[in-house]
């Protein structure tokens, strides 16, 4: 109690302000074992930030809507509740609803979003590759429906957003911006028409592949485990990218094969994104991005939003695919990835796509409440306020705005009617006859 009084006096302005900040401070206090509570937190042993940095980080994060590029919360609701709205409540600790699945701990709910000072989320529409050539479109649209429904149900907190300025408008209205990204081109069933409908219902990025090739793009997973199918994008795949440019939908190459990244960087008329990937130079996992691609990304004007998954943060050439490794990732190691990427691209091409609720195990940054600690750590490493505001918001805003400007420059272009080459579709067992034959 004595320490608490001392601590309260030191940062008293923080404690009464709001529940989220009080939670952060209390955690720091409870975990602190020395009287020197204002210099070092005991939460993160390897971190170098102080209470002063944390206070400043919170101020910065209060000044802009922090955007996270990738969160798999909808997938949990699809798995555990069949995508229905009954039986769970985002206003409570979602862990209570998922504790029967300890391998997939809940990392997202509204109270923890408030604590983490998150301002905007690209919710992931995801289904497994087993849905390819089968019910991928249905499952994708059902997940879109789910995101719209929970955004509406908690509309005192969320606002559905489909544009760059919409994020700002939501923030200025005191609302959290809820956006949609589609994780896996297998959910468009190789149809530009379906792609256009996803845009109509609010999808603002598509990850070209998940862990399987589509009939028009190679995934990094299929090229490593199997063999390249297209050596990047097929001709139809290039059409997909150009149609996304025409629509104003961001092209996401997380999960894509290296050759797919190169092809997209050559073809795309708009800046592209990595919605949830980290630096290959620090952890040589195939899901991460090599330095030469980071340089191309800088020239493209795009953004890499870094992933907190321990397997993508903390690995070496020797242990990278050792699945028995009980891996964790410290806040310091995550900051190292951001430092490295920034050293290659400069401060205008970095963001955060933590992959919360998509991680079967987590490191020190364990859920959506923990972002301020990362910002505090970066402050302690000398990141200026302007760079942190870019990391949080301005970079993603610029990229989405640029995609919208490309869209606006192509308003007179007709929708692309190209059909996928049948020879590229290996499984036609669930398809009826083509409409053009
Ligand atoms: Zn992913």
CA 210 to ligand 1 center in whole angstroms: 7
Distance of CA 432 to the CA centre of its chain: 35
pLDDT over 90 (residue 102): no
For range 57-70, the mean pLDDT? 98
Distance between CA atoms of residues 355 and 333, nearest Å: 16
CA 385 to ligand 1 center in whole angstroms: 30
CA 209 to ligand 1 center in whole angstroms: 9
Helix, strand, or coil (residue 199): helix
* 203 phi/psi in degrees, rounded to 5: -70, 130
Distance between CA atoms of residues 40 and 36, nearest Å: 7
Long-range contacts of the stretch 111-116 (C-beta < 8 A, 24+): 111/19, 112/367, 112/368, 112/369, 113/176, 113/368, 113/369, 114/18, 114/19, 114/20, 115/19, 115/20, 115/23, 115/24, 115/368, 115/369, 116/20, 116/367, 116/368, 116/369, 116/370, 116/371, 116/372
pLDDT in tens, 290-330: 999 999 999 999 999 999 999 999 999 999 998 888 899 99
Share of the chain above pLDDT 70, in %: 88
Residue with tokens 């602190």: 32
CA distances from 417 to 133, 194, 269, 334 (A): 20, 11, 19, 43
pLDDT in tens, 137-171: 999 999 999 999 999 999 999 999 999 999 999 99
Contact by Cβ (8 Å): 68, 123: no
* 37 phi/psi in degrees, rounded to 5: -65, -20
- How high is the pLDDT of residue 10? 39
pLDDT over 70 (residue 233): yes
Q: Which domains does the chain have, with CATH numbers?
A: 63-418 (3.20.20.140)
- How high is the pLDDT of residue 220? 94
Tokens of residue 110, six digits = 């509204």
Neighbour tally for 50: CB within 10 Å: 18
CA 29 to ligand 1 center in whole angstroms: 35
CA 425 to ligand 1 center in whole angstroms: 23
Determine how β-strand 273-274 pairs with β-strand 303-306.
Answer: parallel
- How high is the pLDDT of residue 23? 37
Counting Cβ atoms within 10 Å, is residue 355 exposed (0-12), middle (13-18) or buried (19+)? buried
Tokens of residue 51, six digits = 């209470």
CA distances from 118 to 335, 353, 431 (A): 18, 12, 42
pLDDT over 50 (residue 400): yes
CA 170 to ligand 1 center in whole angstroms: 26
Distance between CA atoms of residues 20 and 3, nearest Å: 21
CA distances from 405 to 13, 61, 238, 263, 411 (A): 43, 27, 20, 22, 10
Share of the chain above pLDDT 90, in %: 78
**pLDDT band for position 20 (50/70/90)?**
very low
Tokens of residue 339, six digits = 């430092």
pLDDT over 60 (residue 42): no
**Lowest-pLDDT range, 12-26, 51-65, 178-192, 199-213?**
12-26
Contact by Cβ (8 Å): 210, 139: no
pLDDT over 70 (residue 14): no
CA 196 to ligand 1 center in whole angstroms: 22
CA 237 to ligand 1 center in whole angstroms: 20
H helices of 173-290, in order, are 192-200, 220-225, 235-247, 258-267
Contact by Cβ (8 Å): 313, 292: no
Q: What is the DSSP string of 1-55?
A: -HHHHHHHHHHHHHHTT-HHHHHHHHHHHHH--SS-TTT--SS-TT----HHHHH
Q: What is the DSSP string of 342-385?
A: HHHH-GGGEEE---BTS-SS--SS-STT-HHHHHHHHHHTT--H
- How high is the pLDDT of residue 25? 42
- How high is the pLDDT of residue 433? 77
pLDDT in tens, 379-397: 999 999 999 999 999 999 9
CA 359 to ligand 1 center in whole angstroms: 9
* CA count, 13 A, side-chain hemisphere, 198: 39
CA 21 to ligand 1 center in whole angstroms: 30
- How high is the pLDDT of residue 285? 96
**pLDDT band for position 38 (50/70/90)?**
very low
- Whole-number average pLDDT of the chain: 89
CA 379 to ligand 1 center in whole angstroms: 28
Angle, CA of 356, 124 and 71, to the nearest 5°: 15
Neighbour tally for 428: CB within 10 Å: 11
Strand spans (E) along 127-253: 158-160, 176-183, 203-207, 250-252
Full-model pTM: 0.90
């Amino acid at each position: 109690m004595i320490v608490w009084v001392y601590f309260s006096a030191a940062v008293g302005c923080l404690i009464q302000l709001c529940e989220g900040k009080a939670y952060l401070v209390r955690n720091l206090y409870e975990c602190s074992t020395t009287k020197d509570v204002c210099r070092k937190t005991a939460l993160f042993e390897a971190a170098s930030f102080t209470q002063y940095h944390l206070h400043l980080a919170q101020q910065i994060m209060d000044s802009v809507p922090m955007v996270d590029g990738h969160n798999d919360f909808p997938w949990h609701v699809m798995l555990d509740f069949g995508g229905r709205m009954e039986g769970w409540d985002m206003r409570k600790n979602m862990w209570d609803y998922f504790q029967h699945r300890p391998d997939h701990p809940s990392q997202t709910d509204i109270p923890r979003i408030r604590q983490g000072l998150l301002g905007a989320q690209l919710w992931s529409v995801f289904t497994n590759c087993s849905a390819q050539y089968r019910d991928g479109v249905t499952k994708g649209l059902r997940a879109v429906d789910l995101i719209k429904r929970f955004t509406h149900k908690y509309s005192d907190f969320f606002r559905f957003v489909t544009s760059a300025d919409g994020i700002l408008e939501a923030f200025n209205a005191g609302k959290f911006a809820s956006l949609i990204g589609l994780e896996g081109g297998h959910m468009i069933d190789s149809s530009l028409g379906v792609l256009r409908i996803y845009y109509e219902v609010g999808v603002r990025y598509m990850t070209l592949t998940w862990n399987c090739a589509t009939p028009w793009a190679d995934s990094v997973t299929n090229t490593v485990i199997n063999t390249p199918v297209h050596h990047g994008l097929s001709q139809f795949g290039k059409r997909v990218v150009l149609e996304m440019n025409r629509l104003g939908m961001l092209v996401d190459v997380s999960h894509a094969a290296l050759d797919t990244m190169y092809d997209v960087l050559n073809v795309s008329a708009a800046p592209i994104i990595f919605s949830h990937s980290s630096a290959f130079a620090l952890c040589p996992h195939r899901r991460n991005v090599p330095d030469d691609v980071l340089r191309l990304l800088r020239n493209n004007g795009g953004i890499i939003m870094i992933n907190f998954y321990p397997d993508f943060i903390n690995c070496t050439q020797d242990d990278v695919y050792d699945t028995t490794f009980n891996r964790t990732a410290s806040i310091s190691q995550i900051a190292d990835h951001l430092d490295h990427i920034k050293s290659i691209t400069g401060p205008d091409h970095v963001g955060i796509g933590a992959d919360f609720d998509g991680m079967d195990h987590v490191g020190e940054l364990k859920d959506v409440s923990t972002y301020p600690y990362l910002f505090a750590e970066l402050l302690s490493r000398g990141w200026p306020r302007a760079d942190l505001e870019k990391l949080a918001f301005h970079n993603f805003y610029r990229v989405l705005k640029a995609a919208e400007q490309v869209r606006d420059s192509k308003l007179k272009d007709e929708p692309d009617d190209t059909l996928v080459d049948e020879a590229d579709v290996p499984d036609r067992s669930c398809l009826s006859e083509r409409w053009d034959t």
